[in-house]
Amino acid sequence: MMFIVFEGIDGSGKTTQAKLLAKKLNAFYTYEPTDGLIGRLIREILKGEKKCEKETLALMFAADRVEHIRLIEEKLRESHVVCDRYLYSSIAYQTSQGVDEDFILQINRFAKKPDVVVLLTVDIEEGIKRLGKEKEIFEKERFLKKVQNKYLELAKKEDFIVIDTTNRSIDDVHEDVLNQINVKL
């Protein structure tokens, strides 16, 4: 069974594509932050309802991931697992906030390595338009550009599948995702 992760900035289409792939593969779909206790607190922070230091947020994502990995490993015994965001989101977003990358890697040293990572990229302005009105604290053009650049740097190091979703239909992107994933299956 394969552990497949979708990464990308907000508005890149990763949630849509992760759900479509999970359905196509009859895989278990999951996401980060989770719906667990820590994940719910993270979502409140991301919405600006609560505040904390950037290092505290990094630790919270790592803690949420510890709990999440148990579920992922359990589900991998029965099916593929498709995850919307994972460790690479922590690296891309939190280093862009100024958190030391070595710190992020250290607190996530337990993280399970995915079999495949699909990075969806998008023109920053288009990604922001896709988000609509309700924005989270990180959904600002300058910041998202920094995050996407970090993702592209990680993609070169880690051999991600990279697919540009700019000005493309959901179906066209999904076809690309399927073609790339089929090579790995």
Q: Report whether 14 belongs to an annotated binding site.
A: yes
Rg (CA), the chain: 16
96 is in an annotated binding site: no
| Nearest residue to 17 via CA among 96, 90, 114, 117 | 117
Q: Is residue 90 a known part of a binding site?
A: no
Q: What is the DSSP letter of 84?
A: E
Is there a binding annotation on residue 9?
yes
Nearest-CA neighbor of 118 among 171, 159, 149? 159
Q: ω before 33 within 30° of 0 (cis)?
A: yes
121 labelled ligand-binding: no
Would you call 27 helix, strand, or coil by DSSP?
Answer: coil
Angstrom distance (rounded) from CA 181 to CA 185: 6
12 belongs to an annotated ligand binding site: yes
Q: In which residue are the tokens 């998202």 written?
A: 144
Across-strand partners of 119? 7, 162
* Close Cβ partners of 91 (under 8 Å, ≥ 6 residues apart): 101, 104, 105, 150, 154
Q: Residues marked as binding for ATP?
A: 8-15
For the annotated binding site, the residues are 8-15
